[in-house]
């Protein structure tokens, strides 16, 4: 009979399961463990100290009953088995870290669980995908010797042989002595077991062992294994430099220590990108505009330079933006650009730099406020506010709503600031754009801010419209792109500095451009599929909006990028769509980061970011202004 290595909780009283979680930390694994034959919960192992395995935690019911293990991979995160959390809610669970004896739980670090995140597509341990993350209500103190995070094994570690057959791994937990037993040891147990190839495990079990599983045990000998109550706990391997890495999550098997069947574990390296997406999401790069200096007085040719760095990627480019709207990209460090200021009005101006990394993340903007002196004059409109507010924002509506204001008698824009006040119950739902009389779009917010309330922008410098006519209708467009939240546009105003040219030039006639495709191509599991369209005619790439439609087995794992004329930006991150199968897509999604002409090739790439056999189809997509 197959065993799952978890003990039943009240909500899962009929479940018989074996599972284990694998933690992460730089600690060495002891060469030996104390012999406790006949007493060990881990079959064939011995007593162990939590200071030797400080990533190990006890997963308990809220009332304090141990039923699974887990591993500390971050102060806020525990990795455990998916089957350990089936039928459970976060409020029913707690973890205890820093204890050798279960009876001393009150002296450990006790944390409640605020969120359970199950690896998508799970059906049973035998089918793989047996991994889950637990977000803690408050961070653990990892400065002690009894509670430490452990590093997870990555695909690169697997390729380097850290989990090859024959490698001695160590599994720990408070599980039972033998299969079917209900008696748990009080003291943490540990045992060393060699890793077995998936081919050998498949032969032993007479069934396919999926690639996201890892086997360990002594085939033909037995006597050393994990057992009920160890589920979700860690299986660790030497990292080759004196430490260990989390390689497996206790999952399932037939019997405990049976010579015919090795124990089976979730292969952590297969889940690495999914784990890192929650625990260590892509960090934004940083940029520093080093020249010109803030407050400088400039004329003629202006030379700008910047430094940029990225902690978890590489710098793809630094974009310099000058007062008249000119943008120049530099892809090579040291980053620099030059601009001729002689045609720009005298007075205050701003020069900006922004960095983009190879994963699509953008830095904040570093800027210098300077004074230009070329013998030209300028005028200002003063603050102009919309009179149509307040306006209610419709929930989950891609059409959105607009607030408008009109400016007349102004010339060519040399500087613009915008102020917006929006009250909302979840501002991470909002896409907010400012649209000029000429149709140019600037993204003020693109689903940023998470669950925080309200969006307040005060006198934000926007250079996207520099060089356009200020006269005409300015539109603040707001879209709520998710369900169950409400909000209101309370106020909207712009303050423009423009040339004194007797009323300014008429706004340019908006040029409509678009291109679309219906590729109906399959997505690639743990890979990417790309498709291109061509825009002809004229238009501004900065105005691009994206339409997308498709279906997928587990759409939350999808990520998209959009590329044009050598620039690639993130079109949407993982987690944009709900964690379930079905249709995915959107219309009129404004994409920031492009400049210059819209003419030419646009390429959309859809990435499936896990390796669990999910399937899907990119049905149709298009770009337009």
DSSP per residue, 486-520? -EEEEEEEEEEEE--SSS-PPPPPP---EEEE---
DSSP run (H or E) holding 14: none
Beta bridge partners of 416: 496
Is 66 noted as a catalytic residue in this protein? Answer: no
In angstroms, the CA 538 to CA 544 distance is 13
Length of the chain: 625
Alpha helices (runs of H) in 185-295, residue ranges in sequence order: 198-205, 268-279
Is 231 noted as a catalytic residue in this protein? Answer: yes
Residue of 24, 146, 179, 231 marked catalytic: 231
In angstroms, the CA 190 to CA 35 distance is 10
Cα separations in angstroms, 577 against 14, 490, 521, 560 = 34, 29, 19, 12
Residue of 83, 424, 552, 624 marked catalytic: 83
In angstroms, the CA 581 to CA 564 distance is 30
Write phi, then psi, for 178 (nearest 5 degrees). Answer: -150, 165
**Nearest Cα residue to 320 out of 291, 298, 346, 282:** 291
Handedness of CA 54, 55, 56, 61 (dihedral sign): positive
Q: Contact 485/424 with Cβ under 8 angstroms?
A: yes
Is 461 noted as a catalytic residue in this protein? Answer: no
In angstroms, the CA 372 to CA 369 distance is 10
Handedness of CA 461, 466, 472, 477 (dihedral sign): negative
Residue of 52, 74, 130, 357 marked catalytic: 130
Task: State the catalytic residues.
Answer: 83, 130, 231
């Amino acid at each position: 009979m197959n065993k799952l290595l978890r003990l039943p909780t009240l909500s899962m009283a009929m479940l018989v399961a074996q599972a284990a979680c694998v933690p992460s930390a730089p600690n060495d694994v002891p060469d030996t463990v104390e012999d406790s034959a006949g007493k060990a919960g881990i079959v064939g192992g011995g007593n162990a100290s939590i200071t030797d395995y400080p990533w190990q935690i006890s997963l308990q019911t809220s009332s304090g009953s141990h039923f699974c293990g887990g591993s500390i991979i971050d102060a806020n995160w525990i990795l455990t088995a998916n089957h350990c959390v089936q039928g459970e809610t976060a409020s029913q669970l707690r973890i205890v870290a820093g204890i050798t004896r279960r009876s001393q739980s009150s002296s450990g670090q006790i944390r409640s669980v605020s969120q359970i995140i199950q690896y998508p597509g799970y059906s049973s341990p035998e089918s793989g995908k047996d991994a889950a993350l637990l977000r803690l209500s408050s961070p653990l103190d990892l400065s002690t010797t009894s509670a430490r995070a452990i590093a997870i094994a990555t695909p690169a570690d697997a390729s380097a042989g850290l989990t090859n057959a024959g490698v001695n791994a160590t599994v720990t937990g408070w599980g039972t002595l033998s299969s079917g037993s209900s008696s748990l040891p009080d003291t943490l147990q540990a045992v060393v077991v060699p890793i077995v190839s998936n081919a050998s495990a498949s032969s032993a079990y007479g069934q396919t062992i999926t690639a996201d599983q890892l086997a360990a045990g002594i085939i033909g000998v037995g006597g050393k294994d994990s057992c009920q109550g160890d589920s979700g706990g860690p299986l660790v391997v030497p990292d080759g430099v004196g430490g260990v890495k989390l390689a497996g999550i206790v999952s399932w098997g037939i019997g405990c220590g049976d010579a015919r069947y090795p124990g089976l574990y979730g292969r952590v390296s297969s889940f690495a990108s999914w784990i890192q997406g929650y625990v260590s999401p892509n960090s934004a790069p940083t940029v520093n505009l080093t020249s010109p200096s803030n407050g400088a007085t400039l004329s003629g040719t202006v030379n700008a330079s910047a430094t940029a760095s990225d902690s978890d990627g590489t710098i793809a480019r630094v974009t310099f933006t000058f007062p008249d709207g000119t943008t120049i990209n530099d892809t090579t460090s040291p980053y620099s650009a030059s601009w001729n200021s002689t045609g720009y009005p005298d007075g205050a101006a701003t020069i900006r730099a922004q960095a983009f990394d190879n994963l699509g993340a953008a830095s904040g903007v570093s800027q210098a406020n300077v004074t230009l002196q070329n013998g030209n004059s300028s005028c200002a409109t003063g603050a102009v506010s919309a009179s149509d507010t307040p306006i209610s924002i419709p929930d989950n509506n891609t059409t959105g709503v607009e607030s408008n204001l009109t400016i007349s008698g102004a010339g060519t824009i040399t500087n613009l600031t915008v102020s917006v006040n929006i009250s909302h119950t979840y501002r991470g739902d909002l896409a907010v754009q400012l649209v000029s009389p000429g149709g140019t779009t600037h993204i003020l917010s693109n689903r940023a801010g998470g669950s925080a309330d309200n969006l307040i922008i005060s006198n934000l410098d926007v250079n996207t419209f520099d060089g356009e006519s200020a006269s005409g209708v300015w539109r603040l467009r707001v879209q709520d792109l998710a369900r169950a939240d409400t909000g209101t546009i309370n106020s909207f105003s712009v303050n423009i500095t423009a040339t004194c040219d007797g009323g300014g030039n008429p706004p340019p006639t908006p040029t409509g451009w678009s291109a679309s495709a219906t590729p109906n191509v399959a997505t690639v599991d743990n890979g990417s599929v790309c498709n291109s369209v061509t825009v002809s005619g004229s238009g501004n790439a900065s105005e691009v909006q994206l339409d997308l439609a498709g279906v997928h087995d587990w759409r939350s794992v999808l990520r998209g990028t959009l590329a044009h004329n050598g620039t690639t930006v993130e079109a949407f991150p993982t987690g944009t769509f709900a964690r379930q199968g079905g249709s995915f897509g959107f219309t009129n999604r404004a994409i920031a980061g492009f400049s210059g002409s819209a003419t030419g090739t646009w390429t959309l790439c859809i990435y499936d970011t896990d390796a669990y056999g999910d399937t899907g189809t990119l049905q149709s997509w298009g770009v337009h202004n």
